[in-house]
Chains A and B, each alone.
Chain A
Amino acid sequence: DARVTQTPRHKVTEMGQEVTMRCQPILGHNTVFWYRQTMMQGLELLAYFRNRAPLDDSGMPKDRFSAEMPDATLATLKIQPSEPRDSAVYFCASEWMNTEAFFGQGTRLTVV
């Protein structure tokens, strides 16, 4: 059954370490979103891609976050160096042409 797959599901890392989160969008979807969810802020858009091209990453701290889509089946979000304030659940979502956004299960990141 078609779904967005995110890995890892959980990640605990030490401050200063690099973290890479991966997302496999639903086959055929041409838009990929990265969101971060915290209790205080809710779901915040970090970046999104259409047809693998980055269209907006204004929600990301540019000095430490980077998002890429090396091919149609893989999107990555990288944090280097990680900080405790980056602790959150990171969601990837994909959709076809402004229809329904399907979310993955999220990566729960804890930076200690």
Chain B
Amino acid sequence: QKEVEQDPGPLSVPEGAIVSLNCTYSNSAFQYFMWYRQYSRKGPELLMYTYSSGNKEDGRFTAQVDKSSKYISLFIRDSQPSDSATYLCAARRASGGSYIPTFGRGTSLIVHP
């Protein structure tokens, strides 16, 4: 079992919909949580970075972390076709003085016009 679990999808929604992407994690040592977006044949790029339980908002994106239930969410409001990509959740834990990112498998999102 992977330390960070994520439903691979695909998740298909109409333009303008609210999208909810979710991950669970098993290791209590994870302290920081991230969402990356990866377009086809590109490298992942950071969307959101959060250190604690609660919500963090950035434009149309909201990241939510619940450490008590080990649950990570990303909400996308007013979804656009340009949001079609794979979304990877990640968590960092301390290891040898560094905080190593561990990734979920990613959820493929398709926003159709």
State whether A41 and B43 are in contact (beta carbons under 8 Å apart), knowing that A50-B97, A55-B98, A56-B95 are contacts in the complex.
no
Q: Tell whether, in the assembled complex, residue B96 and residue A42 are in contact, meaning their CB atoms are under 8 Å apart.
A: no
B96 touches A106 (CB 8 A): no
Q: Are A43 and B100 in contact (CB under 8 A)?
A: no
A91 partner residues in chain B, CB cutoff 8 A: 43-44
Query: Do B49 and A50 touch (CB < 8 A)?
Result: no
Q: Which residues of A contact B2 (CB under 8 A)?
A: 42
Set of chain A residues within 8 Å of B95, measured between Cβ atoms: 55-56
Q: Once the chains are docked, how many angstroms separate the CA of A55 from the CA of B95?
A: 9
- With A and B bound together, what is the CA distance between A108 and B106 in angstroms? 18
Residues of B within 8 A of A41 (CB): 105
How many interface residues does A have (CB within 8 Å)? 23
Q: Across the two chains, which residue of chain B brings its CB closest to A101?
A: B101
Tell whether A100 is near chain B: CB-to-CB under 8 Å.
yes
Q: Which residues of B contact A50 (CB under 8 A)?
A: 96-98
Measured as residues with beta carbon below 8 angstroms from the partner, the interface class of chain B is 20 to 34
Residues of chain A in range 78-106 having any CB-CB distance to chain B below 8 Å: 91, 93, 98, 100-106
Pairwise interchain contact A103-B100, C-beta atoms closer than 8 A: no
Complex partner residue of A105 from B42, B100, B103, B106, CB under 8 angstroms: B42
> In the complex, A95→B15 CA distance in Å?
34
B43 touches A42 (CB 8 A): no
Q: How far is the CB of B92 from chain A (nearest CB, A)?
A: 7
Q: Within 8 Å CB of A24, what residues of B?
A: none
Contact yes or no, B46 A100, CB < 8 A: yes
Interface residues of A (CB under 8 A from B): 4, 31, 33, 35, 41-43, 45, 48, 50, 55-56, 91, 93, 98, 100-106, 108
Task: Give 28 A-B contacts (CB < 8 Å), ordered by A residue.
Answer: A31-B98, A33-B100, A33-B101, A35-B103, A41-B105, A42-B2, A42-B6, A42-B105, A43-B106, A45-B100, A45-B101, A45-B102, A48-B100, A50-B96, A50-B97, A55-B96, A56-B95, A56-B100, A98-B92, A98-B98, A100-B46, A100-B49, A101-B46, A103-B44, A103-B45, A105-B41, A106-B42, A108-B41
